[in-house]
Amino acid sequence: MRIKNRVSSLAAITAATALALAACSGGSDNGNEGGDADAGAGDGGDVSVTFLPKNLGNPYFDASSEGGEAALEEIGGTFAEVGPSEATPDAQVSYINTLTQQQVGAIAVSANDPTAICDALVEAKDAGVKVVTFDSDTDSECRDLFINQADADGIARAQIDLIADQIGGSGEIAILSAAANATNQNAWIEKMEEYAADEYPDLEIVEIAYGDDEDQMSFDKTAALLQSHSDLKGIVSPTTVGMAAAARYLSTSEYKGEVYLTGLGTPNQLREYIEDGTVEAFALWNPEELGYLTAYASAALINGEITGEEGDTFSAGDLGEYTVEEDSVVVLGDPYVFDADNIDEFDF
Ligand code: RAM
């Protein structure tokens, strides 16, 4: 199992990468198996990393876990995944506590709330467990590293440029987000509001709705947005769950072709909506690469190669060398735009 070398451009996400990763054994371990007491505790020991996504059953996190598992296979470590069915911080806290008791080497978590899971993570750190956030961060003092998928400004710009282009630069748009406290979506929404105000003064964000990264709630919130705003020209959904549900709703509704939809989505979930014309273009990074990088960074912490200090460098297998930036952040790369011309090159 190999991941193709990453380059720092958008072209980094290649079909070959996606296919190679899709071919890996997959199948996340949903059991709560963190590892033994010595796991990942020092040089030469077993490197055990447990991924704790926002929720299970989300293809985005299935992909990031596939990448994590592939990396740990290469490293010779142990991969596990645990997580709640609902994207709530409380549910994550009980998993964190269990993983701390099990003394796993590292917890790699996508946070449902920037502060609510912090006490549990600090206890984990105090007990010698390395804490890595990926995808959605906590307050920085609660973790050793944050593996950021892309710079928030770039993610915000990509989505606002896409919707502005699709609706002709002016008119009412709404945002369909994930959970109201999700660190990542909230950071992107703030940047989207700023960027839209600066670059597209005739674009008006009339509502921000929250579908909690649940398919049905996101579907229902899409319907409600369309009913409440009769002049709505577009919806931006900065969550793969929201985007897929909104596309499904629009595709069979009277609004298809009238109201534009873009945001962050996975190619496999949106392919049919690109093909039937519901969606023109959307953005994302490669979640498999995000999981792969997260696993390598976690292993580097466990093995003592890095501490999370700015300037620390480590090797992330086939992705190459990475450097820890200010605030203990590692950035994967740039977002990528998918459309009818390229979507068939991707399989995640
Ligand atoms: C959903 C989750 C995840 C986010 C993606 C874009 O899968 O909310 O945190 O990064 O969408």
Q: Is 213 in the pocket of ligand 1 (CB under 6 A)?
A: yes
Name residues whose C-beta falls within 8 Å of residue 51's C-beta, 6 or more positions apart in sequence. Answer: 28, 61, 64, 65, 68, 79, 80, 81, 82, 83, 108, 109, 291, 294
Side chain identity at residue 52, one-letter code: L
CB 240 less than 6 A from any atom of ligand 1: yes
Domains (range + CATH), the chain: 7-150+286-334 (3.40.50.2300), 152-284 (3.40.50.2300)
Q: Give dist(CA 197, CA 252) in Å, integer.
A: 32
Burial label, 25 (beta-carbon count in 10 A; 0-12, 13-18, 19+): exposed
| Ligand 1 center–CA 205 separation, angstroms | 21
> For residues 203 and 199, what is the distance between their CA atoms, to the nearest angstrom?
9
Ligand 1 center from residue 36 Cα (angstroms) = 31
E strands, the chain, are: 48-52, 78-81, 106-109, 130-134, 145-150, 171-177, 203-210, 232-237, 260-263, 281-284, 313-315, 321-323, 329-333, 336-339
Return the residue whose CA atom lies nearest to atom 8 of ligand 1.
Answer: 239
Instruction: Give the dihedral sign, CA 167/239/320/26.
Output: negative
Nearest atom, ligand 1, residue 238 CA = 6
Q: What is the mean pLDDT of each successive set of 10 residues along the chain, which is 348 residues long?
A: 33 35 33 36 70 97 98 98 97 98 98 98 98 98 98 97 98 98 98 98 98 98 98 98 98 96 98 98 97 98 98 98 98 96 96
**Could you tell me the two tokens for 101?**
């008791």
Atom number of ligand 1 nearest to Cα 58: 7
- Does any ligand 1 atom lie closer than 6 A to the CB of residue 184? yes
Stated pTM of the model: 0.89
Nearest one of 307, 291, 184, 309 to 241, comparing CA atoms: 184
Cβ atoms within 10 Å, residue 112: 29
User: Whose CA is closest to atom 2 on ligand 1?
Assistant: 239
The pairing of strands 281-284 and 336-339 is: antiparallel
DSSP states of 217-280: HHHHHHHHHHHH-TTEEEEEE-SHHHHHHHHHHHHTSTTTTTSEEEEB--HHHHHHHHHTTS-S
- Of 65, 148, 155, 240, the one to substitute when testing ligand 1's pocket (max ligand atoms within 8 A of C-beta) is 240
60 lines ligand 1 (CB under 6 A): yes
Question: Token pair of 348, please?
Answer: 């995640």
Distance (angstroms) between ligand 1 centre and the Cα of 11 equals 21
Cβ atoms of 99 and 124 closer than 8 Å = yes
Distance 241 CA to ligand 1 centre (A): 7
Residue 16: partners with Cβ closer than 8 Å, 6 or more residues away: 4
Distance 240 CA to ligand 1 centre (A): 5
* Other Cβ atoms closer than 10 A to 224: 14
Looking from the CA of residue 54, the nearest atom of ligand 1 is 9
Q: Any bridge partners for residue 175, and if so which?
A: 208, 236
Which tokens hold the place of 322?
């990475």
User: Is there an atom of ligand 1 within 6 Å of 54 CB?
Assistant: yes
Task: Please give the order of strands across the beta sheet that includes 329-333.
Answer: 78-81, 48-52, 106-109, 130-134, 145-150, 329-333
**Most ligand 1 atoms within 8 A of CB, residue of 185, 210, 243, 336 to mutate:** 185
Q: What 8-state DSSP symbol labels residue 319?
A: G
Q: Ligand 1: which of 136, 176, 264 to mutate, judged by most atoms within 8 Å of the beta carbon?
A: 264
**Could you give the CA distance from residue 210 to residue 215 in angstroms, rounded to a whole number?**
11
Number of C-beta neighbours around residue 80 at 10 A? 25
Mutating to test ligand 1, I would choose from 54, 55, 60 the residue with most ligand atoms within 8 A of its C-beta, which is 60
Task: Measure 37 CA to ligand 1 centroid, in angstroms.
Answer: 32
